[in-house]
Structure 1
Amino acid sequence: MSGDDCLFCRIARGELPAHRVHEDDHILAFLDLHPIRPGHCLIIPKQHHPWFEDLPEDLANRITSCAQRLSRHMKALYGVERVALFYTGIHVAHAHAHVVPMHHVHDVSSQAYLKDGVLDFTQPPQLPAEHGARIAGDLAAAFPA
């Protein structure tokens, strides 16, 4: 999808409404229309980048700094101990960070932890050491010496 048709590009350009929380020349923070909790914000780059790994490092840092500032304020505003920050990209192919004040430990849990219901916490099976060593080695290849 091009930036012309992208939902978040259209919001960034002001063509679609959003409850804007913060904006500068490079990023926009606004309320999620389908929040996990009140205050759930999205932070997007104004320039179209489909996935978070496509973001230039300085832009990713700008998004993270904005999320940290929002997080500190959300903790005071909502009286929560934790605020989650994550990128998903599931519904819109435009890099976007979610900042969610966590009122409950399972506000952003994976289904892998909830097989016994939301009142219980189920540990997924432990990763066998030999598999962990192989996977860590495979991923470490992203950081050549």
Structure 2
Amino acid sequence: MHQDCLFCKIASGALPAHKIYEDDHILAFLDLHPIRPGHSLVIPKKHYVWFEDLPEKLATRITTCAQKIARAQKIIYQVQRVSMFYTGIHVPHAHAHVVPMHHVHDVTSTAYLLDGIESFSAPPQADAGELADIANIFADQLSN
């Protein structure tokens, strides 16, 4: 546990949370600042700053829990879609957001909203040569 980490404090029980699932390795609870009602967070109990630092089995455990929460959200909120994404911007402890999507743009980047909330604006298409170069860089990096 990191002493200054908000999520470590929640995981240890030092701070309260509206828990919806818990086991020996992960904890899921309701977000205090939800995008929509039911917006949940799934965290590892052990401190990892970035999601890419999570051991594979722990990341899988978090995703499996998020899927169960998503299925429940679909029933509870009568939504077709649920979004799951990792961030770490405001709390430097890996955490997955699970958000019932009442509106198609509940978790959309502003890059796609240039024409307003009721529209979808595709950002400019990337140059094919640039995409090929980037894909090659990834291929090289991921083969190591």
**Structure 2 length as normaliser, TM-score?**
0.96
Establish whether residue 139 from structure 1 lines up as the match of residue 135 from structure 2: no
Letter in 1 for 2:108: S
* Runs of 4+ that moved beyond 3 A: none
Shift of residue 98 of structure 1? 0.2
Instruction: Give the corresponding residue for 1:128.
Output: 127
Q: Which amino acid aligns with 1:77?
A: I
Mapping for residues 77-116 of structure 1, pairs under 5 Å: 77-116=76-115
2:28 equivalent in structure 1: 29
Unaligned runs of 5+ in 1: none
- Offset, 1:119: 1.3
Helix, strand or coil for the counterpart of 1:30? Answer: strand
Q: Distance in 2 between matches of 1:115 and 1:144?
A: 37
SS at 1:142's partner residue?
helix
Structure 2 segments unaligned to the other structure (5+ residues): none
Q: What is aligned with 1:17?
A: 16
Are 1:41 and 2:40 counterparts?
yes
CA RMSD of aligned residues (A): 1.1
Task: Give 1:77 shift.
Answer: 1.3
Q: Structure 1 vs Structure 2: percent identity of aligned residues? A: 65
Q: Across the two proteins, how many residue pairs are aligned to each other?
A: 144
